[in-house]
């Protein structure tokens, strides 16, 4: 995993553990381009984050994965989003309701396109 991504993961873990959700949202908002440039490493990032403890970080990664022009492995991404929606920490998601709604919207659009 690239060092900038490692720093992202470490910052997400640290800010989540400290309960500094506002600062975490600021970090995530600044990290969209970093995540998009490292698309091939995002599953590794997801593996390094716990859905319950790092919901905002996981949300950011899934949102970026769905924002790409083409989704290479839709079934895997669908499973990841489905698991995230059912197990994420609602207290964390309150800080990023627009992004959460956007992820749900992207999922719905993708399912409609695939007629599923």
Higher pLDDT, 50 or 114: 50
User: What mean pLDDT do residues 83-103 have?
Assistant: 96
Q: Whole-model pTM?
A: 0.93
Average pLDDT, the chain: 93
For residue 115, what pLDDT is reported? 83
Angle at the Cα of 62 from the Cα atoms of 48 and 110, rounded to 5 degrees: 150
pLDDT digits over 62-84, tens only? Answer: 999 998 888 778 999 999 999 99
Q: Which are the contacts of 114, defined by CB distance < 8 A and separation ≥ 6?
A: 74
Instruction: Map tokens 């499973």 to a residue.
Output: 79
DSSP 54: -
For residue 2, what pLDDT is reported? 58
Query: How many CB atoms are located within 10 Å of the residue 13 CB?
Result: 16
């Amino acid at each position: 995993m690239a060092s900038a991504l490692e720093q992202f993961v470490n910052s997400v873990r640290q800010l989540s553990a400290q309960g500094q959700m506002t600062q975490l949202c600021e970090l995530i908002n600044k990290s969209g381009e970093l995540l998009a440039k490292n698309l091939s490493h995002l599953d590794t990032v997801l593996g390094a984050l716990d859905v319950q403890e790092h919901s905002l970080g996981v949300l950011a990664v899934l949102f970026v994965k769905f924002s790409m022009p083409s989704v290479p492995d839709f079934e895997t991404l669908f499973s990841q989003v489905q698991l995230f929606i059912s197990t994420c920490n609602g207290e964390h998601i309150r800080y990023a309701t627009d992004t959460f709604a956007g992820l749900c919207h992207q999922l719905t659009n993708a399912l409609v396109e695939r007629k599923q």
